[in-house]
Amino acid sequence: MRSGSGLDGAVAAVGFMEESGLFNCGRGAYLTAEGKVELDAAVMSGEGLAGAGVGNVTSTHTPVTLARWVMENTKHVLVVGDRTRDYVRLAGLEVEELTPSRRVAARFEALQREAKYSEPLRTVRRFEAGDTVGAVALGSDGVPAAAVSTGGTWMKLPGRVGDSAILGAGLFADSGLGASCATGTGEEIIRVGLCLKACEFMGTDDAQRSAARAIGHITKVRGKGTAGIITVDLKGRVGAAFNTEAMGRAWFDHQKGRVVAAVGPDP
């Protein structure tokens, strides 16, 4: 960030994507096996390891703002379920009825034809993940931060919470290391504590090598097609790695003075 905190930057980027309806979060979120929207999100600032996640949010399309409120106003790091509704107004948001976009509803119908709700555990494996949004940023004060938001995996069981609500799994930030944020199959990301791992690697390596090492680790222990990660280190260098076919990402290139974006391998 040229000015302002990394947390402001990361939350603004994620909030923009929640609003867009283009990704698996906010207005474009994937649906549970019952066809409902249940959102997870989290924020973390490297300063004092401050952070919080929210899970199964059903009454605001911008759970990242709710997660920030939990972080700044409570002592908790995880709040989930229907009662998150109680905090929506306190966080300065409107209580909403979350309905799927037309594009998402059409996809749900197609998936439903392929799978039966009577076999939900199989569907969770079959329909996997993708398109969760996240951002990492180094504040002008040198403090790294991360934010993440998702509808979770397609056809997830109602009540399921994924990595994007959990510090150390879907995101991590530490003032002595850097920040990271993940996408992919939440169950696998939680198992290996992927984002904590990437940050620990930044104790000795740069952002890019740390991202690659973290993805190397999850590929080794849980297989390919499981995750992608973005990182920023304390020098403001960014990294990205994934073991899926592609991962959409964009970053500000300070040397070129412009935003660079990629979906497949680095440009």
**What is the nearest approach in angstroms of ligand ASP to the Cβ of residue 151?**
8
Binding mask 145-174 for ligand ASP (x = CB under 6 A): -----x-xx--------xxx----------
Please provide the DSSP assignment of 4-35 as one string: S-HHHHHHHHHHHHHHHSSSSSGGG---BTTS
**Identified catalytic residue from 62, 84, 132, 226:** 132
Note if 132 is an active site residue.
yes
- The three-state secondary structure class of 174 is strand
Q: Which residue has the tokens 């109602």?
A: 158
Inter-CA distances, 213 with 9, 146, 188, 205, Å: 26, 19, 16, 9
Figure out which of the listed residues 1, 11, 17, 24 binds ligand ASP, where binding follows CB under 6 A.
24
Q: How many residues bind ligand ASP (CB under 6 A)?
A: 16
**What is the nearest approach in angstroms of ligand ASP to the Cβ of residue 130?**
5
Q: How far apart are the first and last CA of the chain?
A: 23
CB 154 within 8 A of CB 31: yes
Helix (H) or strand (E) holding 179: strand 178-184
CA distance 107 to 198: 33
Binding mask 77-96 for ligand ASP (x = CB under 6 A): --------------------
Nearer to ligand ASP, 26 or 186 (CB): 186
Binding mask 173-192 for ligand ASP (x = CB under 6 A): ----------xxxx------
Q: Which residue has the tokens 């991590």?
A: 172
**What is the nearest approach in angstroms of ligand ASP to the Cβ of residue 158?**
14
Counting contacts by CB under 6 A, is residue 38 touching ligand ASP? no
Which residue ranges make up the site for ligand ASP (CB under 6 A)?
24, 40, 129-132, 150, 152-153, 162-164, 183-186
Active site residues: 132
